Amino acid sequence: MRLTQGTFSFLPDLTDAQISKQIDYCLSKGWAIGLEYTDDPHPRNTYWEMFGNPMFDISDPAAILMEVNACRRTFPDHYIRLTAFDSSHGTESVVMSFIVNRPKHEPGFRLVRSEQAGRTVRYSIESYATQSRPEGMRYSSDN
Amino acid sequence: MGHMNEPQQITDSKKRYSAGVLKYAQMGYWDGDYVPKETDILALFRITPQDGVDPIEAAAAVAGESSTATWTVVWTDRLTACDMYRAKAYRVDPVPNTPGQYFCYVAYDLSLFEERSIANVTASIIGNVFSFKPLKAARLEDMKFPVAYVKTFPGPPTGIVVERERLDKFGRPLLGATTKPKLGLSGRNYGRVVYEGLKGGLDFMKDDENINSQPFMHWRDRFLFVMDAVNKASAATGEVKGSYLNVTAGTMEEMYRRAEFAKELGSVIVMIDLVIGYTAIQSMSDWCRNNDMILHLHRAGHGTYTRQKNHGVSFRVIAKWMRMAGVDHIHAGTAVGKLEGDPMTVQGYYNICRDTYTKVDLPRGIYFDQDWGALRKVMPVASGGIHAGQMHQLIDLFGDDVVLQFGGGTIGHPQGIQAGATANRVALEAMVLARNEGRDIKNEGLDILRDAAKWCSPLKAALDTWGEISFNYQSTDTSDYVATPSVS
């Protein structure tokens, strides 16, 4: 399966040139850009690991793209997302977030049903990749 | 106005309160020199006085009948601080290019109103003045609420920012569809439509306004099958998904029962119809706030009183009341779809939902500044006769904070519901990407869609089917201050 979290997951993976233009857009709005990575893409896993703090003081798009590539080199088989933060009053939250790196193989999620009284079912979702493997070992092709 | 032969309030108490009938202006409901206080609630009415009725006297009558007056003098006024309680009409302007109609501005003292009660506000402002015989017609065009009054309302239980954080969806409009046909599907068949739409790429599916608990599908069956579809689609995509479960019912107790079951099943959102009434809406808003639930409002019935310009209540006022009453989603028009609404007027509604401070904007029908006092923002919903081929117009008009709902434009897709959903999601993401890259989507939109259709065959099929469909009719409810622009 293809994980479709993020602003642009239904498009073909963005090229570096396309990512640069989105970085330009974020900077032109005064947003700070951060990079986050994970190997647990559960839809409610909010806190992906931060690849450093959001880059509040970097206004050079090329420098940010360098960080994207550094993160990709460090975590080539993780999900990496580029997230933009707007600090203005009334928003003060994430305003854009899109995936810039994916594992080669995305095994998807298992829907676990637990039958309850009546016809009620309790649902939970488990990533096949996270089952019985610790963080950092989940998408590695060696084991 | 407010000069020639201006009627004067009678200030001599003995004359003012002797038994009999006086003009409303003489009773003190017109004051052309009145400067509204920061704490006043203001209302703008469009009035059409009967032939021969002076517009200022008509305005005074509106102020009187929506505050303390009755048709004759009553001595019991003298037991009260009646000068303060009397609403004051303070300005009357002829409506541009519309003989016989006047805009009349009325100020109400804050102490006339109960805190956090839309029912109380509406009972005063639209309680009985709209049936008043000296007026042929009246319409409430806009209102201003002092920030002190706004702060008595908790507002939307979730709001745009928190909704996005909960859904983990940022930087683009949300996508939805209403499950169709609106009546007749069994629970099992209904859930099928929900699953296909969500798996194909939509964020939300939606019950229609009149899906409650009919013989063909009782509410519990619907909730159970829909939640199976929602969870299965979430597992298939790795995204948070939702379906607006309509909990509208005949009593408050039954609505709470349905909402509790929706929560028990893990739904992120419930839905109500405007016809349940303002108090029921505020109660459901409280329930949602206590249960971490997004509250979707379908504006069922509003067209009976919002559409005609000469009589009723403008939707911009309904939108203000609903932001205060506390809903998270509200249908606010599409401008380009099948239902009423000219583009600038509809943008005015969107601004009311989403601004932190709304400024006077006459071409968009905004007559007052409104400080929202950090009240959370309402997500407007564009729904009704829109399709992927209009994506550039929709994003150009409404920006990112909107739910775009393509019902027929998803379910009627020639390759099936999943393909319809995918076409819409690809069109949406391609258009947002292009806009962020600095392209002129208003003029290059169709090229952007056609380029994406080269690699996305569902989008190609959608454009081939609906690319030429538009609903280009003259709007009824238009701005009085600019020529109405065409959407195409």
Q: What is the pLDDT of residue B482?
A: 67
Does an H or E element contain B79, and which? none
pLDDT surpassing 60 at residue B486: no
Query: Which residues in chain B are contacts of A90 at CB distance < 8 A?
Result: 161, 356, 374, 377
CA angle B358, B362, B367 (to 5 degrees): 55
Question: How high is the mean pLDDT of chain B?
Answer: 93
Give B192-217 pLDDT, tens digit per residue.
999 999 999 999 999 999 999 999 99
Residue A30: how many CB atoms within 10 A of its CB?
Answer: 11
Q: Are the beta carbons of A91 and B161 separated by less than 8 Å?
A: yes
pLDDT surpassing 80 at residue B338: no
B184 neighbors B219 (Cβ within 8 angstroms): no
pLDDT surpassing 60 at residue B1: no
Chain B CA closest to residue A40: B238
pLDDT surpassing 50 at residue A72: yes
Query: Which residues in chain A are contacts of B457 at CB distance < 8 A?
Result: none
Query: Which residues in chain A are contacts of B430 at CB distance < 8 A?
Result: 11
pLDDT surpassing 60 at residue B2: no
Full-model pTM: 0.95
Give B39-67 pLDDT, tens digit per residue.
999 999 999 999 999 999 999 999 999 99
Give A2-37 pLDDT, tens digit per residue.
999 999 999 999 999 999 999 999 999 999 999 999
Nearest chain B Cα distance for residue A89, angstroms: 8
Q: Are the beta carbons of B429 and A91 separated by less than 8 Å?
A: no
Q: What is the pLDDT of residue B158?
A: 98
pLDDT surpassing 60 at residue B483: no
Residue to mutate among A10, A46, A47, with most B CBs inside 10 A, is A10
Q: What is the pLDDT of residue B488?
A: 41
Give B91-138 pLDDT, tens digit per residue.
999 999 999 999 999 999 999 999 999 999 999 999 988 988 899 999
Report helix, strand or coil for B349. Answer: helix
pLDDT surpassing 50 at residue B333: yes
- The Cα–Cα gap between B53 and B49 comes to 6
pLDDT surpassing 90 at residue B296: yes
Give B222-278 pLDDT, tens digit per residue.
999 999 999 999 999 999 999 999 999 999 999 999 999 999 999 999 999 999 999
Residue to mutate among A11, A83, A87, A96, with most B CBs inside 10 A, is A11
When pLDDT is averaged across residues B338-344 and rounded to a whole number, the result is 79
Closest to B170 (Cα-Cα) out of A102, A29, A136, A76 = A29
Q: What is the pLDDT of residue B233?
A: 98
When pLDDT is averaged across residues A41-59 and rounded to a whole number, the result is 96
* Residue B7 vs residue B10, higher pLDDT: B10
Q: What is the pLDDT of residue B472?
A: 67
Q: What is the pLDDT of residue B407?
A: 87
- The Cα–Cα gap between B37 and B42 comes to 10
- The Cα–Cα gap between A141 and B16 comes to 93
Catalytic annotation, residues of B: 180, 298
pLDDT surpassing 90 at residue B31: yes
Residue to mutate among B221, B436, B439, B441, with most A CBs inside 10 A, is B436
Give A95-124 pLDDT, tens digit per residue.
999 999 999 999 999 999 999 999 999 999
pLDDT surpassing 50 at residue B330: yes
- The Cα–Cα gap between B34 and A53 comes to 55
Give B463-480 pLDDT, tens digit per residue.
999 876 666 667 777 888
B25 neighbors B8 (Cβ within 8 angstroms): yes
pLDDT band at B21 (very low <50, low <70, confident <90, very high): confident
Nearest chain B Cα distance for residue A62, angstroms: 16
Query: Which residues in chain A are contacts of B232 at CB distance < 8 A?
Result: 111
Q: Are the beta carbons of A4 and B429 separated by less than 8 Å?
A: no
When pLDDT is averaged across residues B392-396 and rounded to a whole number, the result is 95
